Amino acid sequence: MASVVNRPNGRREIQFTDAAGKRQTVRLGKMPKRDAESVKTRIEHLLTSQITKRSLEGDTARWVASLDDVLAGRLAKVGLIRQRESAYLAGYIDAYVAGRTDLKPRTRIKFNATKRYLIEFFKADRNLRDITAGDADDWRVFLLAKGMGENTVRKHTQIAKQFFTAAVRRKLIESNPFAELKSTVQANPERFHFVALDAAAKVLAACPDAQWRLIFALSRFGGLRCPSEHLALTWDCIDWEHNRITIRSPKTEHHPGKVSRTIPIFPELRPHLEAAFDEAAEGSVHVITRYRNTNANLRTHLSRIIERAGLKPWPKLFQNLRSTRETELAEQFPMHVVCSWIGNSKAIAAKHYLQTTDEHFRKATQNPTQTVHDTADSDGQPRQETPHLSALSGTDKAGQLLTVGKIAEEGLEPPTRGL
C-alpha cells in the first residue's frame, strides 16, 4: 500500500495511493531507514482506517498524538489526519476559549486569568506535549508563591485541567499533566462570617441610594448570588400579590430544572424592593439599573460602604451575606425548603454555607439538656421512662411542633405478642 523512496540527497519519502486512488507523497527528510519503515507502517494503518471507516487502534492513535507539528502537518496535507490545532500553549488556549461560545462573560474572564498564569510560567511558545506532570506540580507551587490561597490555586488548577483535557480529546497530547493535581474547592471555616442584623442595619444606613440598599438586601435577606442573580432580576419576576420572587440563575441554568427558583418576599426585603420600585422609571425592565456596567466593581464599592458604616469588611463580602441568610433560614424551616430558596444542595449548604454562631452557643448554655431516667416498673424491674412529649418537643416560630426525642427502640412496627 505504501513504499519508502530513497532520494540521492539522502532524504526519504513515503509514497502511497490514497482512498480516492490518487498518488500521494509524504516527505520525511533525512531519517534512518528503520524509522522511515516505521512511518510507512503507520501510514498504512491510517489508510486502512480511512478505507474501512473504523477508528484508529490505540497504538496508532497515540503515535499520531505524539507527532511533531511538521510531520503532522504533512500528513494532514495529504488527508491522512485532520489538520492539527496549534500545539503551542498560547495559540491553543486562545483557540479553545474562542471556540467556547457557550461561556458566560465572568467564566471567560476566569479562563483568561488562568491562561495568563500558565503563560507566565510556561511561556507562550511552550509545546503542550512538552509539559509534564512534574511541570504541573511546579506551576502549582508557583501560584502558591504568589500568595494565592489554596482554594484560588485549586480553581485555577480546575480550569487548567479543563484546557488540557480538551487537548487530549483533540489528540494533541496523550495525557493530561494536570490530572493528578487537587482541584476541588474546600470549605474554609476561617473565612466564614455571620453578618448580624445590627451590622446589616449599619451597612444599609451607609448605602448611598435605594439601589445599593436593594443590592445589599437581596444578598443579606434574599440569599441571591451577586452580581449574576441581581442583574438578571426584572420587575416581571416580582409577584407582589403572592409575595414571591422568581430568581433567574445564570450560574445553574445549564442544569436541568435549575434555570430559576422561587423565593418569598421576606419581610426584611420588601421595603427595599418597594423603595426601588417607587424610584424606577416608567417602562423599566431590570430591577437593578444603576450598577449594570460590567466595569462596576461591586465588591470594592461594598467594602467602602462597610468601612463607612464603621465596620471591618468581612472575608467574602457577598458570599458571607448569602451564607448568613441560609444559616438563619435553617433555624426556622426544613433544609429542603431552605435549599430550594437559596439554590444549592444540602451537601453544599453543610460544607460551604451553614455556620455555627454565637447564638448557638448562647442557647446551648442557657437551655438544659433533657435526659431519660431509669425507674422501676411494678415488678421491680428497671425500665426506661419516656419523658412527657412536652419535654422532648418544642415549637418553631411558626408554631409547628418540632419533635426532638428518640424513636422507640421497637421501631415502626408494634410489638408482637409472645415474642
Please report, for the domain that includes residue 299, its CATH number: 1.10.443.10
Range in 12-21, 198-207, 324-333 the model is least confident about: 12-21
Tell me, yes or no, whether 386 lies in a domain: no
Residues 343 and 217 in one domain: yes
Tell me, yes or no, whether 396 lies in a domain: no
Residues 240 and 355 in one domain: yes
Residues 196 and 238 in one domain: yes
Residues 168 and 195 in one domain: no
Tell me, yes or no, whether 292 lies in a domain: yes
- Residue 305 has a pLDDT of 96
Is the pLDDT at 312 greater than 80? The verdict is yes
Tell me, yes or no, whether 395 lies in a domain: no
CATH number, residue 139 = 1.10.150.130
| Residues sharing a CB contact under 8 Å with residue 204, sequence separation 6 or more, in sequence order | 213, 216, 217, 272
- Residue 246 has a pLDDT of 95
d(C-alpha 113, C-alpha 357), whole Å: 35
Q: How confident is the model at residue 83 (pLDDT cuts 50, 70, 90)?
A: confident
* Residue 215, SS3 per DSSP: helix
Task: Give the mean pLDDT of the chain.
Answer: 83
Q: Could you give the angle at the alpha carbon of 199 between the alpha carbons of 195 and 201, nearest 5°?
A: 120
The boundaries of the domain holding residue 300 are: 191-360
Residues 218 and 315 in one domain: yes
d(C-alpha 181, C-alpha 183), whole Å: 6
Q: Are 237 and 247 in contact (CB under 8 A)?
A: yes
Residues 246 and 172 in one domain: no
Q: Are 312 and 246 in contact (CB under 8 A)?
A: no
Domain count, the chain: 3
* Residue 15, SS3 per DSSP: strand
Identity of residue 185: V
Residues 204 and 345 in one domain: yes
d(C-alpha 178, C-alpha 223), whole Å: 35
Residues 56 and 128 in one domain: no
> What are the pLDDT digits (tens) for 112-149?
999 999 999 999 999 898 999 999 999 999 999 999 98
Q: Which domain-ending residue is among 158, 186, 214? A: 186
Residue 304 in grid coordinates? 467602602
Sign of CA dihedral 338, 339, 340, 344: positive
Q: Which domain-ending residue is among 186, 204, 226? A: 186
Residues 225 and 286 in one domain: yes
- Residue 406 has a pLDDT of 41
Q: How confident is the model at residue 2 (pLDDT cuts 50, 70, 90)?
A: confident
Phi, psi of 264 (to 5 degrees): -70, 155
Residues 144 and 271 in one domain: no
Residues 294 and 167 in one domain: no
Residues 247 and 126 in one domain: no
CA dihedral 284, 289, 295, 301 (to 10 degrees): 180
Tell me, yes or no, whether 375 lies in a domain: no
Chain CA centroid to CA 200, Å:
28
| Residues sharing a CB contact under 8 Å with residue 265, sequence separation 6 or more, in sequence order | 238, 240, 243, 244, 245, 273
